[in-house]
Structure 1
């Protein structure tokens, strides 16, 4: 997508468009504030109040190794993992034998996976791999912690062309007195191994259909969900793509006439901290918590899947969704690579009978805050996961130099400031191989980025309301324990002259533009009169219905972009038609003048 401006010699026009159907990426309207570090995380156990629970002491963590399974048990929950494949086959909690879908095969309950392809392949459809381990190693085993490693080592003499050329190390960690467990993985590609591509990688959990019916991904994005059988051919009607289904004969009539589409529940990385499911009877919550974005691809605005009908919960680490081939991880010959994904936390909570089940969501948000505060975690045993004392920090102040706005430099209020692998201006939006670290500047433009992994980075920034991208022109090297102050850095937005007029706001969102109502026969009730109503299915088709005889014409000074400018550029001649009308306007302003036009990216997703 992009934004377009128009000026006498430029800051120019603001127009939102995308080459994909599900295109405009808006900010979530609700965010949880992180309280002080004295917060103590709650752990819910049936029949006990929090006051009683905080004084309880659970037994130490125990590990039971069997022929085909291993079990981690801390007295609050038991996690069963296949041996040596490393699939989570069972989670026992709150007197329930298994929270995962027992009707599924053991390999289809809780698992890591990736989609890969050979070098030179195009597109985003590759080879699906559940990454079954071939060896188990106990890394840590004591009363405070158990950490297990399930590995699959690539052998070029056997696996060439059959398996992704990676050494894969999947880790599972259980801590004492913790109402959940952690998982992370290390992927490694050796220099002498063949080139290849990665399209997606994630961890997925398939929960019990007979228990988990209520899904929550934000304060204003939660609801009871349809059943997976409602999507089958005898109950649902396939729409433009397989993920979208119109529910015509659902098991529960209340869902009749709604569209179910997992992409409607996507979320920007910066807001994707906690999501999951609630069971009403018994009152149990299953939550996926991600404390850091550092291992995710595409920066803070990249959208990824969360939870969806299944019931399914995902932790997405790398994805080409909404971006296409630009975000495919492409490794060339003689290219070594290693990356740690995670840890993510699978958090379980429960309530006593009679309590409001939605309290489980509030509790999960508090647990998320605790996890964020304790990042980077101190417990991972892999030397590839850097602890806090091995990391560094960068601080400074971002100023904006725009003489058409102010004679003095103005603070970069609310700027997004981040570190990513060295590259070109704005390259962080497509960067996938390394780590990224982002923060928001305060109202005076001051920023501080902490807990940065060692390595070389460029400093990138952009400011809501200001066109363009900033890049610090010096590579920053992070060493263990370093504290780097870059001082005042000045961003001069691209300009050729004063602004004559502007359509929209250069904030990488299209929230200010006109979003039509959906076809009443193709709605998701959650998004009726909702700030995220742009997520409704089929809105791209509404453009042709609104303008059946030609493309829209926007008249500067008369039209209101909140009512008259369509939020997305869909398949049509709208862009060409708009330029034609602008030429007519410019001709009236003077045939001997130069009137530049500048395009401002909203989001590459």
Structure 2
């Protein structure tokens, strides 16, 4: 009896192991099929299964002082996102976003949109700031939504006195140094993506070993004289020191009123950024933001991160007829990898009556 029971137990155990093996092989296969079908459902919707939106986005030419008319927002980037504030689409990651590029005339069509309620976001290369539609857009299955003509009025108070760079949300176009020969990556030798080389943050000290960067409007060239990242400078004892960049410019005359300094940031990492005008004391501090950014763009060999635009008021009482200076300070020391990548810097004269009329288009 004992022998017979033992044989039956072994047979049952063998069958049980076989069943477990079959289940282990079968369950992942079923799971893979389910995931695949779900992917098809979302990314390749059937006809009439998702909405379609096809309006035009127009940009009002920033400078009324140049044209005074609306121009098409050609090759702009336009997208639907559940984000509700300007630029917040950059950090919205819990829902799908749907983006396209406008054509030469500013037309665009966004297809295969999952039904829902969205904000219409956008930005235009060559113009600072973010567009956000005034109304939410509701997309239903099988629908087509026509929005007509939309107008974007980029931020501006007065005419441009000077500008540095081009507003494309990157630090491309500024000076990127050659890599230290110790750290050469041959993949990026003779490459347009020179910024991919390792250790470029330390090259700022090699370019400016004792004194920080000075940029003179009218004679300096951003491609040669504006370092791509405002980082700390390595001191004699290998401690990293805060840095202050100087922008020198001439005003003649000084107009009574409020000037506007636009600072478009392509990326920032643990930066304490300050701006002073003509003096470094507290009375001449016109802008300050602490612990800005966690992008880690420099150490990850990038050229842009999260875009930010700051607008700083400068009283005409701070300025003088003739030579003036603006000081941009990355005030946090002791960190080789903290810093700011500027996208675009612009100084505007005080607002005019013409600009007040233009603002009604927004």
3-state secondary structure, aligned to 2:215:
coil
How do 1:518-597 residues align onto structure 2 when only pairs under 5 Å count?
518-572=179-233, 577-578=244-245, 581-582=246-247, 585=249, 590=254, 592-597=256-261
Aligned residue number for residue 487 of structure 1:
148
Match of 2:33 among 133, 148, 157: 148
After TM superposition, give the deviation of residue 544 of structure 1 in Å: 1.1
The answer to whether the 8 A contact 2:83-2:92 is kept is no
Aligned residue number for residue 430 of structure 1:
91
CA distance in structure 1 between the partners assigned to 2:97 and 2:22 by the alignment: 36
Aligned residue number for residue 598 of structure 1:
262
How do 1:66-215 residues align onto structure 2 when only pairs under 5 Å count?
67-68=20-21, 83=25, 136=28, 138=30, 148-149=33-34, 171-172=35-36
CA distance in structure 2 between the partners assigned to 1:83 and 1:499 by the alignment: 68
How do 1:1-400 residues align onto structure 2 when only pairs under 5 Å count?
67-68=20-21, 83=25, 136=28, 138=30, 148-149=33-34, 171-172=35-36, 376-377=43-44, 386-400=45-59
Aligned residue number for residue 4 of structure 2:
none
After TM superposition, give the deviation of residue 389 of structure 1 in Å: 2.6
CA distance in structure 2 between the partners assigned to 1:66 and 1:557 by the alignment: 81
CA distance in structure 1 between the partners assigned to 2:52 and 2:242 by the alignment: 44
Aligned residue number for residue 471 of structure 1:
132
Aligned residue number for residue 409 of structure 1:
70
Q: What is the root-mean-square deviation of aligned Cα atoms in Å?
A: 3.0
CA distance in structure 2 between the partners assigned to 1:478 and 1:399 by the alignment: 22
CA distance in structure 2 between the partners assigned to 1:567 and 1:547 by the alignment: 13
Q: TM-score, normalised by structure 1?
A: 0.37
The answer to whether the 8 A contact 1:422-1:456 is kept is no
CA change 1:449–1:405 in 2 (3 A) is: farther
| Stretches of structure 1 lacking an aligned partner (at least 5 in a row) | 1-64, 71-81, 85-134, 140-146, 150-170, 174-183, 185-341, 344-373, 378-385
The answer to whether the 8 A contact 2:230-2:243 is kept is no
The answer to whether the 8 A contact 1:460-1:472 is kept is yes
The answer to whether the 8 A contact 1:400-1:411 is kept is yes
CA change 1:489–1:551 in 2 (3 A) is: same
CA change 1:502–1:68 in 2 (3 A) is: farther
After TM superposition, give the deviation of residue 511 of structure 1 in Å: 1.6
Aligned length: 244
3-state secondary structure, aligned to 2:195:
helix
After TM superposition, give the deviation of residue 429 of structure 1 in Å: 0.6
3-state secondary structure, aligned to 1:489:
strand
3-state secondary structure, aligned to 2:109:
strand
CA distance in structure 2 between the partners assigned to 1:448 and 1:575 by the alignment: 47
CA distance in structure 2 between the partners assigned to 1:575 and 1:490 by the alignment: 42
Aligned residue number for residue 178 of structure 2:
517
After TM superposition, give the deviation of residue 376 of structure 1 in Å: 3.4
3-state secondary structure, aligned to 1:542:
helix
Q: Which has the larger radius of gyration?
A: 2
CA distance in structure 2 between the partners assigned to 1:404 and 1:445 by the alignment: 22
CA distance in structure 1 between the partners assigned to 2:255 and 2:214 by the alignment: 22
The answer to whether the 8 A contact 2:84-2:119 is kept is yes
3-state secondary structure, aligned to 2:75:
coil
CA change 1:596–1:569 in 2 (3 A) is: same
Structure 1 residues 473-510: Cα deviation after superposition (integer angstroms, max 9, x where no partner): 11001100111111110000110111111111101122
The answer to whether the 8 A contact 1:422-1:475 is kept is no
After TM superposition, give the deviation of residue 138 of structure 1 in Å: 3.1
The answer to whether the 8 A contact 1:552-1:574 is kept is no
CA change 1:375–1:388 in 2 (3 A) is: farther
The answer to whether the 8 A contact 2:232-2:243 is kept is no
After TM superposition, give the deviation of residue 595 of structure 1 in Å: 2.2
The answer to whether the 8 A contact 2:212-2:243 is kept is no
Runs of 4+ with deviation above 6 angstroms = 573-576
3-state secondary structure, aligned to 2:170:
coil
CA distance in structure 1 between the partners assigned to 2:48 and 2:20 by the alignment: 39
Q: TM-score, normalised by structure 2?
A: 0.61
CA distance in structure 1 between the partners assigned to 2:192 and 2:22 by the alignment: 46
CA distance in structure 1 between the partners assigned to 2:242 and 2:131 by the alignment: 27
Aligned residue number for residue 105 of structure 2:
444
The answer to whether the 8 A contact 1:506-1:600 is kept is yes
